[in-house]
């Protein structure tokens, strides 16, 4: 993909919710207060190799009441794009995901119709997998080995910066 950082980004990883309740497929409680080891708060700030600044924040838990779980903004010289949805996985395409464009000159905000495809009828988790398999069948490379290595290096650097042994 070629969207690495330069110089190295700064990160903060933290586990703010130390336990979770394990449920079975029917929602029955299997274990109260199961230790949680994954970080649920992530901050990443830096400049991409394309000289674009990036500020990323993600936290676990429920969103603030009556607000979207994800609020992604891309700020430009003539306007701003805002993408909202119930969760952080943009590639899946939640049914209530919304895209808006704010034109600074006209002071107008317009909603952009998001594209739909033949996988909209699938459950949300299966949509992305179906799209990847379709692209693979068409001979397209969705994520190369080099892309994966670049992401793993970033994650490794974030862990090391935060004193987590990898």
pLDDT digits 0-9 by tens, 53-84: 889 999 888 889 999 999 999 999 999 999 99
Q: Is 163 left (phi over 0), alpha (psi -120 to 50) or beta?
A: left
pTM: 0.76
pLDDT of residue 145: 94
pLDDT per position as a tens digit, 106-153: 999 999 998 888 998 898 888 889 999 999 999 999 889 999 999 999
Percent helix, strand and coil across the chain, each to the nearest 5: 20, 35, 45
pLDDT per position as a tens digit, 5-34: 777 789 999 998 899 999 999 999 999 999
pLDDT of residue 1: 47
Give the chain's radius of gyration (CA, Å): 19
């Amino acid at each position: 993909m070629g969207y690495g950082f330069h110089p190295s980004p700064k990160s903060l990883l933290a586990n703010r919710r130390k336990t979770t309740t394990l449920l079975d497929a029917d929602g029955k409680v299997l274990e109260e207060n199961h230790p949680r080891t994954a970080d649920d708060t992530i901050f990443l700030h830096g400049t991409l190799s394309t000289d674009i600044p990036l500020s990323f924040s993600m936290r676990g838990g429920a969103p603030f009441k009556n607000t979207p779980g994800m609020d992604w903004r891309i700020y430009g010289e003539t306007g701003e794009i805002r993408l909202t949805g119930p969760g952080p996985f943009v590639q899946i395409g939640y049914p209530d995901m919304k895209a808006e464009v704010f034109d600074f000159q006209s002071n107008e905000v317009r909603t952009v119709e998001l594209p739909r495809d033949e996988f909209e009828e699938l459950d949300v988790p299966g949509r992305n997998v179906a799209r990847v398999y379709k692209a693979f069948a068409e001979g397209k490379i969705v994520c190369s080995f080099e892309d994966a290595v670049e992401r793993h290096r970033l994650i490794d650097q974030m862990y090391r910066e935060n004193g987590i042994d990898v």
